[in-house]
């Protein structure tokens, strides 16, 4: 599964940019000019624009649980949890150009059965240790509210 924050954020950034048809009223005698300065998103808005869950559409796969925050606010407890079915290094490479930082707090496996509307979270990551599967399931329940069962166990690999 390819991981890419940029396309999603490009869509989100559009709402922060000026309307190209909005005239810049510098003076009543100047010709109509258009705004050229871009409004920038706050670092927290960028964090908020990152989707919390991106996993494979179906099957059994590894996952990682991450903490994401604005790089200039790393000492604060203002972070967001993410679930990714990806390699940590790919996630890190995707967020750092956006002024964000990420830390992997564990991992495990997910069994995603969309036809049965079920997700099962279990196991641990050999490299990152066991994630808090209850946090992962909370995020998955928000992402898949129509699923009949989203459950976890601390057993298995």
Token pair 């606010």 is found at 73
Compute the distance between CA of residue 93 and CA of residue 95 in angstroms, rounded to an integer.
6
Extract the annotated binding site: 62
d(CA 13, CA 41) in angstroms, rounded, equals 7
- The beta-strand segments (E) located in the chain are 23-24, 33-34, 53-54, 59-70, 80-84, 100-113, 118-122, 149-152
Q: Where is the binding site for substrate, in residues?
A: 62
Q: Which of 117, 108, 118 lies closest to 154 in space, CA to CA?
A: 108
């Amino acid at each position: 599964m390819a991981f890419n924050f940029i396309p999603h954020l490009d869509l989100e950034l559009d709402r922060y940019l000026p309307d190209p048809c909005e005239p810049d009223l510098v003076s009543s005698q100047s010709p109509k000019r258009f705004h050229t300065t871009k409004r920038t998103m706050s670092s927290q808005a960028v964090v908020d624009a990152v989707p919390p869950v991106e996993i494979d559409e179906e099957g059994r796969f590894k996952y990682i649980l991450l903490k994401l925050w604005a790089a200039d606010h790393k000492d604060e407890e203002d972070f967001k949890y993410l679930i990714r079915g990806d390699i940590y290094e790919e996630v890190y490479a995707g967020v750092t150009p956006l002024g964000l930082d990420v830390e992997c707090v564990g991992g495990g496996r997910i069994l995603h059965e969309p036809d049965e509307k079920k997700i099962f979270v279990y196991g641990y990551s050999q490299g990152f240790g066991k994630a808090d599967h209850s946090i992962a399931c909370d995020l998955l329940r928000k992402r898949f509210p129509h699923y009949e069962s989203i459950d976890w166990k601390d057993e298995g690999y």
